[in-house]
């Protein structure tokens, strides 16, 4: 038979009357035990009042998102034996960022609101809807769409995202993956509109790969954001954020195309303008680093290779 | 031991002191850093925003150079350069459509990607190849009674399935190195959160806020100083820290160092030799570490 | 009590409910979709393998919708209403085309057309799929489409207590908002029950934790019968011990079942179809193997993928591979996967015809697993559950539109307070029996006595036991008295529904003295068409008994023949 081991489960409980309090439970688990089963046993046998969300127990419904030892995870996709520390202990808490409702259940309505903002549905061509025309899709296009469509709306990426916390204009990782999924879908007729919804927000992402890390479905929202940013050249509109991003990234591309490297002083000047760049120089001077800003690195000798790699444009 | 060395643009520019300190302690440890021949910029974490194919191709060009030099490992002091090269290889190996287009670009430049070169952070080399014990042996001035906030940032750790060195949620590399200098490592909740540097080219107010969150968090958890592992974190948290101070009208600064600068201090080098910034150097002197 | 008025209320936010919602809303009617979970958490998400569809011009050249209907009729062991099976096949291609225009990311052929693959019980390959997560992909597609209608209101995380009736007419339902435990009356003249299945009544089930048969319980208590409740499907390949389903796709793509002697035992039980014989046959064969000592210690057999090669497995069977890896620590490219049968699907359900209409309560409709249209008969074929939810979700939606055009909402709202007050009794009570105790007994009884192999003694005991449980359930109480997201109260409500539907299953199984499809009686091991080619209708009576009536099976083309694979 499968060998069992007693594990200690500490759960941060919360309700309106009692506020937050940690409670400790002990259960016997084996190598096959999922954390959702641990929760179910606790609820059935020790604390029927314990509240959490769980549905499919196979990582496709996105219900059981929570923090396990501080790490944002799905409980069903976490095996008890992988979660415990060397003292056979595991800590469970509700996800960060969202409003507390009860025990391991946060109110994630703000997550859904983010998703709705990107108009998450296909708008097909009328002739296709009526059946006059047939839409085809290459296997590689399907692969690209499906990669970002695999999101199960669990909310983990938003709970862990530093830009979401600091910037209310940032739509958040999941919404970007969803929005990009339709940009990549040739059957959709609203591509330009979608780029308009997403572009400013895309440049508010800090590319820290937190969403990529915590996503239980390997959706890689940050990659969707980067792929969306790549449309900045064909997007006709602008905002303060987009304008700066264009200057900054164009300068980087130019600099690499010219010398194979990023020339920081040029980057500062072109991105922020003379006044702001000078102000930054002052800060560098106070730190004694201005001498480095003035130093000039050698260019790539075989710059032709770089030019060929980069092609005519960008 | 010889290892191929990719300094990256920043550490040959405004973050030059990262390169200076790294070279210095490498010499102390008999680690010969062989600069990658005719290396090019990795894209600085921005190129893949504009074009994944170019980004991937540029990074593979560097790795090919390393191969030509006869090495199978490339060490870099910059987390962004590290992440950029590792992500490029991961995409190339797992995305057949991208691979096809990257191969076309490289072919135009007469480059055939060979593979077989692993990008590593310089601190991975310190831990795995040099060894903590060996580092401890070189410590001449143990940094007693100083609490160092150990910051990792994002690109060194994530995505962990691509970076592969340590847990993205419970990392220990920087802590282990700080402990080797005799200082007391201080962990803090935002140790693996982003410093905000990537936002400085599009949304600076939020970028600065993130930097301030990191510095405040380290300080609130008792750190006297903070170390980090990245040339671009260096720009954000050290070089322009006074900007953050002004922006948030703060009456404090948190002296910040690149990890090899801290190790260099313990090895007996002066702040000047290590290119350490004025705020930090002043603090070190006040505390009697220089 | 708060009151909101709609034209139609839809209980359940899975594929069937959302499909109907899309059609009712498209006709301009005001719709409420109420579910105890956010729609994308519904059990539809768990469907892996795919959706069977005959697409004209994009199917096997030898295939024909009629073959598809025949497969369903035979697979269902002739308890299928043949007009229902024909409608299912005829509409299958259209359904896939509609989903394509709504954005479903089906896997493609090199020329850009929708790909297809072979599935258990099919004469020709006709399963359309989205990797190994077809249900999840389609559920998101449907929900996203529905979210674009301003005349659909979603009541997510609302627990439905009971149906409100005005005489013999539907007059909406009373639900409880889970976040704050406030009751709400959702008034409407049309009600669609699309609340999914009941796997949680069994100790071993592939179903989501939320599949607690709520819709069946609610219907039974309103005097509405369940049709053919004795037919419960057990899926052969469920990961030991978590009972996570390893998709039939694995066997469709070449995986083989083996016993502890490394024999491909299905050759003995289904000499033609082998491992791809219908689910009931494979599940029973596996159980026989284990009963005769050819299983592994702990009670499982092996599913062997190793000969398929890592690359092929990663490309075509990612979910099966990931499930084995994540939940059993097994690398399926190198080791065999430990599997056993577990409850998977409920063929029975709320009695409706092919329009989705129930004839006992005016304005009541049902679709999906909650309903019994009789397309699956005594046993469902793989790839047909998704198809049924969509085809009959759509048909029912259209029927509801016709109904709504002819009827108006009534004025009264009698009976709503009583429903809410009854619900609060569990919280008010300080002592009694805890739902957990009742639930443990229920799951044991259903698994041991009303499972894969059945007989009169076991079933008789089960009926008595369940009647006893139902009596004791009147005395349930909860320890948690708080008023925000009190899941203990909802568990008690679920327990009440689970006991009611289990009683219907056990009684109907005891009553049917033959073997047909998934209903296997050791004491009556053969099909008996003379006496039993008829549907069961099970009504719940206030004295804890089930009254059984019958309904004839609709036969259009195919006369019963022995079911041999």
pLDDT > 80? residue B231: yes
Domain count, chain C: 2
Q: Which domain holds residue B82?
A: 2-122
Q: Is C449 helix (H, G, I), strand (E, B) or coil?
A: helix
Distance from CA of A42 to the nearest CA of B (A): 26
Residue B271: its pLDDT value, please?
Answer: 96
Structure tokens of A201? 């927000």
Pairing of strands A71-74, B2-5: unpaired
Burial (0-12, 13-18, 19+ Cβ within 10 Å), A208:
buried
Sign of CA dihedral C253, C259, C262, C265: negative
Q: Is B253 helix (H, G, I), strand (E, B) or coil?
A: coil
Please give the full DSSP string across B101-170, using - where no structure is assigned.
Answer: HHHHHHHHTT-------EEEEHHHHIIIII-HHHHHHT-SS--TT-EEEE---STTTSSHHHH-SS-SSS
Q: Model confidence at A312, in pLDDT bands (50, 70, 90)?
A: low
Residues B80 and B152 in one domain: no
Domain boundary among C285, C316, C342: C342
Give C433's contacts (C-beta < 8 A, 6+ positions apart): C472, C473, C475, C476, C477
B225 domain-assigned = yes
* B161: nearest CA partner in chain A: A213
C172 domain-assigned = no
User: CA A245, CA A201: separation in Å to the nearest integer?
Assistant: 12
Structure tokens of B210? 């993130």
Check: CB of residue C137 under 8 Å from CB of residue A217: no
User: Strands (DSSP E) along C76-229, which ranges?
Assistant: 127-128, 152-156, 158-166, 169-177, 183-187, 190-193, 226-227
Burial (0-12, 13-18, 19+ Cβ within 10 Å), A125:
middle
Residues B106 and B240 in one domain: no
Residues C539 and C432 in one domain: yes
Average pLDDT over residues A91-120: 98
Residues B107 and B145 in one domain: no
Structure tokens of B180? 């080797």
Q: Is B188 helix (H, G, I), strand (E, B) or coil?
A: coil
B267 domain-assigned = yes
Average pLDDT over residues A46-70: 96
Domain boundary among B122, B152, B171: B122
Domain boundary among C301, C323, C342: C342
Q: How far is CA C446 from the centre of its chain?
A: 17
- Asked which of A100-104, A236-240, A265-269 is least confident by mean pLDDT, the reply is A265-269
Residues B249 and B161 in one domain: yes
Cβ neighbours of A278 (radius 10 Å):
12
User: Strands (DSSP E) along chain B, which ranges?
Assistant: 2-5, 32-35, 73-76, 118-121, 147-150, 184-186, 225-228, 256-258
Structure tokens of A178? 């969803």
ipTM summary value: 0.96
| Dihedral Cα C323, C329, C331, C335, nearest 10 deg | -110
Check: CB of residue C466 under 8 Å from CB of residue C445: yes
Check: CB of residue C365 under 8 Å from CB of residue C357: yes
Active site annotation includes C279:
yes
C241 domain-assigned = yes
pLDDT > 60? residue A226: yes
Check: CB of residue A124 under 8 Å from CB of residue A189: yes
C-B interface (Cβ pairs under 8 Å ≥ 3): no
User: CA C504, CA C7: separation in Å to the nearest integer?
Assistant: 31
Half-sphere exposure of B183 (CA within 13 A, CB side): 30
Domain boundary among B70, B97, B122: B122
Q: Which domain holds residue C530?
A: 416-552
Residues B215 and B269 in one domain: yes
* A118: nearest CA partner in chain C: C144
Q: Model confidence at A32, in pLDDT bands (50, 70, 90)?
A: confident
Q: Is C26 helix (H, G, I), strand (E, B) or coil?
A: helix
- Give the CA distances from residue A184 to residues A116, A143, A277, B91, in Å, rounded to whole numbers and listed in that order: 18, 10, 38, 18
Point out the residue among B106, B202, B275 whose CB comes nearest to the CB of A241: B202
Test mutation, A29, A38, A48, A136, chain C, max C CBs within 10 A: A48
Residues of B in contact with A278 (CB under 8 A): none
B127 domain-assigned = no
CB contact under 8 A, B52 and A230: yes
pLDDT digits (tens, 9 = 90+) for A246-256: 999 999 999 99
CB contact under 8 A, A227 and B97: no
Residues of C in contact with A15 (CB under 8 A): 482, 484
Point out the residue among A71, A206, A297 whose CB comes nearest to the CB of B12: A297
Distance from CA of A60 to the nearest CA of C (A): 6
Pairing of strands B2-5, B32-35: parallel
Residues B166 and B239 in one domain: yes
User: Does B216 contact chain A (CB < 8 Å)?
Assistant: no
Check: CB of residue A174 under 8 Å from CB of residue A155: yes
Structure tokens of A15? 């309700």
CB contact under 8 A, B198 and A208: yes
B100 domain-assigned = yes
CB contact under 8 A, A286 and B278: yes
User: CA C259, CA C301: separation in Å to the nearest integer?
Assistant: 5
Nearest C-alpha neighbor of A75 from the set A84, A62, A89, A88 = A62
Residues B30 and B141 in one domain: no
Q: Is B257 helix (H, G, I), strand (E, B) or coil?
A: strand
pLDDT in tens, chain C (565 residues): 999 999 999 999 999 999 999 999 999 999 999 999 999 999 999 998 789 999 999 999 999 999 999 999 999 999 999 999 999 999 999 999 999 999 999 999 999 999 998 876 678 889 999 988 999 999 999 999 999 999 999 999 999 999 999 999 999 999 999 999 999 999 999 999 999 999 999 999 999 999 999 999 999 999 999 999 999 999 999 998 889 988 887 888 899 999 999 999 999 999 998 998 888 889 999 999 999 999 998 889 999 999 999 999 988 787 789 889 888 878 999 999 999 999 999 999 999 999 999 999 999 999 999 999 999 999 998 889 999 999 999 999 999 999 999 999 988 889 999 999 998 888 888 889 988 899 999 999 999 999 999 999 999 999 999 999 999 999 999 999 999 999 999 999 999 999 999 999 999 999 999 999 999 999 999 999 999 999 999 999 999 999 999 999 999 999 998 877 7
Average pLDDT over residues A99-119: 97
Residues C428 and C520 in one domain: yes
C85 domain-assigned = no
Residue C29: its pLDDT value, please?
Answer: 98
Distance from CA of A114 to the nearest CA of C (A): 13
Pairing of strands C546-552, C534-540: antiparallel
Q: Which residue is catalytic, options C126, C128, C279, C527?
A: C279
Residues of B in contact with A300 (CB under 8 A): 38-40
pLDDT digits (tens, 9 = 90+) for B164-182: 999 999 999 999 999 999 9
The backbone region for B132, taken as left when phi is positive above 0, alpha when psi lies in -120 to 50, beta otherwise, is alpha
Check: CB of residue C53 under 8 Å from CB of residue C92: yes
Sign of CA dihedral C159, C162, C163, C164: negative
Distance from CA of C515 to the nearest CA of A (A): 32
Domain boundary among C342, C369, C400: C342
Residues of C in contact with A64 (CB under 8 A): none
Test mutation, B103, B202, B236, chain A, max A CBs within 10 A: B202
What mean pLDDT, rounded, does chain B reach?
96
Give B216's contacts (C-beta < 8 A, 6+ positions apart): none
Residues B268 and B170 in one domain: yes
- Give the CA distances from residue A248 to residues B50, B98, B204, B205, C130, in Å, rounded to whole numbers and listed in that order: 11, 25, 12, 15, 40
Distance from CA of B190 to the nearest CA of A (A): 10
Check: CB of residue C209 under 8 Å from CB of residue C490: no
Check: CB of residue C170 under 8 Å from CB of residue C189: yes
The backbone region for A57, taken as left when phi is positive above 0, alpha when psi lies in -120 to 50, beta otherwise, is left
Residue A64: its pLDDT value, please?
Answer: 98
Q: What are phi and psi of C241, to 5 degrees?
A: -105, 5
Residues B118 and B149 in one domain: no
Residue C250: its pLDDT value, please?
Answer: 86
Point out the residue among A245, A260, A271 whose CB comes nearest to the CB of B41: A260
Residue C121: its pLDDT value, please?
Answer: 67
Structure tokens of C322? 């990931």
B44 domain-assigned = yes
Q: What are phi and psi of A134, to 5 degrees?
A: -110, 135
Residue B235: its pLDDT value, please?
Answer: 94
Chain B, residues 36-65, CB within 8 A of chain A, namely 38-41, 43-52, 54, 57-58, 61
Residues of C in contact with A174 (CB under 8 A): none
Test mutation, C18, C33, C38, C205, chain A, max A CBs within 10 A: C38
Residues B96 and B161 in one domain: no
Domain boundary among B92, B122, B152: B122
C473 domain-assigned = yes
Q: What percent of chain B has pLDDT over 90?
A: 98
CB contact under 8 A, B210 and A253: no
Distance from CA of C178 to the nearest CA of A (A): 10
C299 domain-assigned = yes
Give B180's contacts (C-beta < 8 A, 6+ positions apart): B132, B135, B136, B139, B263, B266
User: CA C135, CA C141: separation in Å to the nearest integer?
Assistant: 10
pLDDT > 60? residue A43: yes
Q: What percent of chain B has pLDDT over 70?
A: 100
Angle between helices C82-101 and C65-75 (to 10 degrees): 120
B129 domain-assigned = no
Q: What are phi and psi of C217, to 5 degrees?
A: -60, -45
Residues of A in contact with C329 (CB under 8 A): 31-32, 79
User: CA C326, CA C339: separation in Å to the nearest integer?
Assistant: 15
Q: How far is CA C190 from the centre of its chain?
A: 22
User: Does B238 contact chain A (CB < 8 Å)?
Assistant: yes
User: CA C548, CA C512: separation in Å to the nearest integer?
Assistant: 10
The domain that contains B81 carries what CATH number? 1.20.1050.140
Check: CB of residue C369 under 8 Å from CB of residue C501: no
Point out the residue among B17, B43, B49 whose CB comes nearest to the CB of A230: B49
User: CA C520, CA B176: separation in Å to the nearest integer?
Assistant: 64
The domain that contains B220 carries what CATH number? 3.40.50.11810
Angle between helices B79-94 and B52-69 (to 10 degrees): 100
The domain that contains C531 carries what CATH number? 1.20.58.100
**Domains observed in chain A:** 4-106 (3.10.20.30), 109-233 (1.10.1060.10), 244-310 (no CATH)
Residues of B in contact with A262 (CB under 8 A): 9-10, 13, 41, 44
Residues C427 and C542 in one domain: yes
Burial (0-12, 13-18, 19+ Cβ within 10 Å), A22:
exposed
What mean pLDDT, rounded, does chain A reach?
94
CB contact under 8 A, B54 and A311: yes
Residue C252: its pLDDT value, please?
Answer: 83
Residues of A in contact with B210 (CB under 8 A): 162, 166, 206
Residues B177 and B100 in one domain: no
Residue A291: its pLDDT value, please?
Answer: 86
Test mutation, A84, A176, A213, chain B, max B CBs within 10 A: A213
C98 domain-assigned = no
Residues C422 and C321 in one domain: no
User: CA C317, CA C334: separation in Å to the nearest integer?
Assistant: 14
Give C189's contacts (C-beta < 8 A, 6+ positions apart): C7, C8, C169, C170, C171, C363, C403, C404, C407, C408, C409, C410
Point out the residue among A61, A101, A137 whose CB comes nearest to the CB of C485: A101
C424 domain-assigned = yes
User: Strands (DSSP E) along C107-222, which ranges?
Assistant: 127-128, 152-156, 158-166, 169-177, 183-187, 190-193
User: CA C459, CA C68: separation in Å to the nearest integer?
Assistant: 35
CB contact under 8 A, A253 and B108: no
Chain C, residues 284-313, CB within 8 A of chain A, namely 297-298
Residues of A in contact with C108 (CB under 8 A): 136-139, 141-142
CB contact under 8 A, B17 and A289: yes
Output A261 or A134, whichever has higher pLDDT.
A261
A-C interface (Cβ pairs under 8 Å ≥ 3): yes
Q: What are phi and psi of B159, to 5 degrees?
A: -75, 135
Residue C284: its pLDDT value, please?
Answer: 92
User: CA A156, CA A97: separation in Å to the nearest integer?
Assistant: 10
Chain B, residues 76-105, CB within 8 A of chain A, namely 83, 97, 105
Residues B270 and B142 in one domain: yes
Q: What are phi and psi of C38, to 5 degrees?
A: -60, 140
Q: How wide is the angle at C-alpha A250 spanned by C-alphas A249 and A256, nearest 5°?
A: 90
Q: Model confidence at B58, in pLDDT bands (50, 70, 90)?
A: very high
CB contact under 8 A, A163 and B199: yes
The domain that contains C311 carries what CATH number? 3.90.700.10
Sheet holding C337-346, edge to edge: C232-239, C337-346, C301-304, C256-258
Residue A314: its pLDDT value, please?
Answer: 43
The pTM for the full model equals 0.95
């Amino acid at each position: 038979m499968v060998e069992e081991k007693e594990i200690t489960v500490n759960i941060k409980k919360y309700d309106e009357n009692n506020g937050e309090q940690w409670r400790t439970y002990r259960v016997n688990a084996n190598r096959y035990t999922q954390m959702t089963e641990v929760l179910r046993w606790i609820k059935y046998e020790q604390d029927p009042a314990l509240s959490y969300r769980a549905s499919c127990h196979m990582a496709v419904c996105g219900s059981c998102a929570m923090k396990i030892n501080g790490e944002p995870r799905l409980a069903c996709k976490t095996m008890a034996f992988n979660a415990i520390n060397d003292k056979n202990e595991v800590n469970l808490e509700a996800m960060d960022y969202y409003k507390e409702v009860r025990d391991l259940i946060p109110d994630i309505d703000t997550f859904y609101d983010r998703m709705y903002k990107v108009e998450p549905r296909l708008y097909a061509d009328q002739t296709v809807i009526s059946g006059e025309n047939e839409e085809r899709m290459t296997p590689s296009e399907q692969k690209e769409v499906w990669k970002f469509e695999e999101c199960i709306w669990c909310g983990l990426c938003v709970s862990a995202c530093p830009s979401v916390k600091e910037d209310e204009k940032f739509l958040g990782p999941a919404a970007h993956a969803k929005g990009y999924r339709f940009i990549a879908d040739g059957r959709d007729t609203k591509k330009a509109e979608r780029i308009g919804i997403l572009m400013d927000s895309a440049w508010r992402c800090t590319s820290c790969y937190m969403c990529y890390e915590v996503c239980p479905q390997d959706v890689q929202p940050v990659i969707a954001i980067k792929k969306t940013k790549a449309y900045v050249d064909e997007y006709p509109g602008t905002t303060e954020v987009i304008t700066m991003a264009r200057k900054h990234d164009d300068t980087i591309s130019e600099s690499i195309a010219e010398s194979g490297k990023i020339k920081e002083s040029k980057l500062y000047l072109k991105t922020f303008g003379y006044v702001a760049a000078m102000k930054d120089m002052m800060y560098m001077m106070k730190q004694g680093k201005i001498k480095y800003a003035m130093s000039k690195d050698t260019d790539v000798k075989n710059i032709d290779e770089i030019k060929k790699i980069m092609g005519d444009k960008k | 031991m010889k290892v191929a060395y990719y300094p990256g643009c920043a550490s040959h520019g405004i973050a030059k002191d990262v390169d200076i300190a790294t070279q210095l302690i490498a010499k102390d440890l008999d680690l010969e850093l062989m600069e990658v021949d005719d290396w090019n910029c990795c894209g600085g974490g921005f190129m893949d925003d504009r074009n994944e194919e170019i980004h991937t191709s540029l990074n593979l060009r560097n790795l090919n150079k390393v191969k030509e030099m006869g090495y199978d490992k490339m060490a870099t002091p910059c987390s962004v350069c590290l992440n950029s090269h590792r992500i490029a290889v991961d995409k190339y190996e797992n995305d057949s459509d991208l691979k096809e287009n990257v191969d076309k670009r490289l072919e135009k430049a007469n480059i055939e990607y060979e593979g077989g070169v692993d990008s590593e952070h310089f601190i991975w080399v310190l831990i795995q190849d040099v060894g903590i014990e060996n580092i401890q042996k070189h410590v001449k001035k143990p940094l007693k009674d100083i609490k160092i906030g150990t910051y990792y940032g994002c690109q060194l750790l994530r995505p962990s399935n691509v970076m592969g060195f340590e847990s993205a949620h419970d990392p220990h590399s920087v802590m282990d190195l700080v402990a080797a200098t005799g200082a007391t490592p201080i962990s803090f909740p935002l140790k693996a959160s982003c410093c905000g540097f990537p936002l400085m080219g599009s949304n600076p107010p939020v970028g600065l806020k993130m930097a301030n969150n990191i510095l405040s968090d380290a300080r609130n958890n008792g750190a006297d100083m903070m170390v980090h592992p990245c040339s671009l974190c260096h720009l954000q948290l050290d070089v322009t820290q006074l900007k953050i101070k002004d922006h948030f009208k703060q009456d404090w600064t948190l002296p910040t160092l690149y990890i090899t600068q801290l190790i260099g201090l313990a090895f007996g080098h002066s702040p000047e030799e290590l290119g350490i910034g004025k705020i930090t150097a002043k603090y070190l002197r006040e505390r009697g570490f220089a | 009590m708060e009151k909101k008025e709609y034209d139609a209320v839809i209980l359940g936010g899975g594929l069937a409910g959302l499909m109907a919602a899309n059609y009712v809303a498209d006709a301009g009617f005001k719709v409420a979709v109420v579910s105890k979970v956010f729609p994308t958490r519904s059990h539809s998400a768990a469907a892996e393998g795919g959706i069977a569809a005959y697409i004209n011009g994009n199917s096997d050249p030898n295939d024909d919708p009629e073959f598809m209907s025949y497969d369903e009729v035979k697979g269902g062991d002739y308890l299928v209403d043949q007009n229902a099976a024909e409608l299912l096949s005829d509409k299958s291609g259209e359904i896939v085309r509609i989903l394509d225009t709504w954005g479903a990311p089906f896997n493609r052929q090199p020329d850009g057309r929708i790909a297809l693959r072979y599935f258990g019980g099919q004469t020709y390959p006709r399963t359309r799929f989205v990797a190994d997560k077809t249900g999840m992909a389609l559920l998101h597609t449907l929900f996203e489409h529905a979210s674009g209608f301003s005349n659909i209101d979603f009541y997510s995380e609302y627990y439905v207590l009971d149906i409100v009736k005005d005489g013999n007419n539907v007059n909406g339902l009373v639900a409880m908002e889970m976040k704050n435990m406030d009751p709400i009356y959702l008034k409407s003249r049309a009600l669609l029950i699309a609340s999914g299945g009941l796997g949680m009544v069994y100790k071993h089930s592939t179903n989501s934790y939320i599949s607690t048969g709520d819709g069946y319980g609610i219907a039974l208590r309103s005097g509405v019968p369940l049709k053919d409740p004795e037919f419960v499907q057990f899926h052969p390949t469920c990961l030991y011990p978590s009972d996570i389903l390893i998709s039939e796709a694995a066997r469709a793509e070449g995986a083989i079942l083996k016993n502890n002697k490394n024999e491909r035992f299905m050759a003995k039980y289904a000499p033609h179809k082998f491992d791809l014989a219908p689910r009931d046959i494979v599940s029973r064969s596996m159980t026989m193997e284990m009963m005769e000592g050819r299983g592994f210690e702990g009670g499982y057999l092996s599913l062997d993928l190793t000969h398929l090669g890592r690359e092929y497995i990663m490309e075509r069977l990612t979910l099966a591979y990931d499930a084995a890896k994540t939940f059993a620590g097994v690398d399926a490219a190198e080791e065999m996967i430990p599997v056993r049968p577990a409850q998977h699907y409920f063929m029975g359900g709320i009695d409706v015809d092919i329009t989705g209409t129930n004839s006992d309560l005016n304005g009541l409709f049902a679709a999906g697993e909650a309903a019994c249209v009789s397309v699956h008969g005594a046993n469902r074929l793989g790839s047909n559950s998704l198809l049924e939810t969509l085809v009959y979700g759509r048909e029912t939606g259209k029927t509801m539109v016709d109904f709504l055009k002819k009827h108006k909402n009534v004025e009264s709202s009698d009976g709503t307070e009583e429903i809410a007050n009854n619900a609060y009794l569990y919280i008010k009570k300080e002592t009694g029996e805890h739902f957990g105790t009742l639930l443990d007994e229920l799951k044991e009884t259903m698994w041991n006595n009303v499972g894969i192999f059945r007989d009169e003694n076991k079933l008789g005991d089960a009926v008595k036991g369940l009647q006893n449980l139902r009596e004791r359930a009147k005395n349930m109480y909860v320890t948690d008295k708080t008023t925000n997201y009190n899941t203990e109260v909802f568990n008690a409500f679920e327990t009440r529904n689970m006991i009611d539907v289990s009683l219907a299953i056990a009684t109907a199984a005891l009553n049917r003295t033959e073997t047909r499809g998934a209903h296997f009686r050791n004491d009556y091991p053969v099909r008996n068409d003379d006496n039993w080619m008829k549907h069961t209708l099970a009504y719940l009576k206030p004295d804890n008994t089930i009254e059984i009536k019958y309904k004839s099976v609709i036969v259009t083309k195919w006369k019963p023949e022995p079911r041999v694979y």
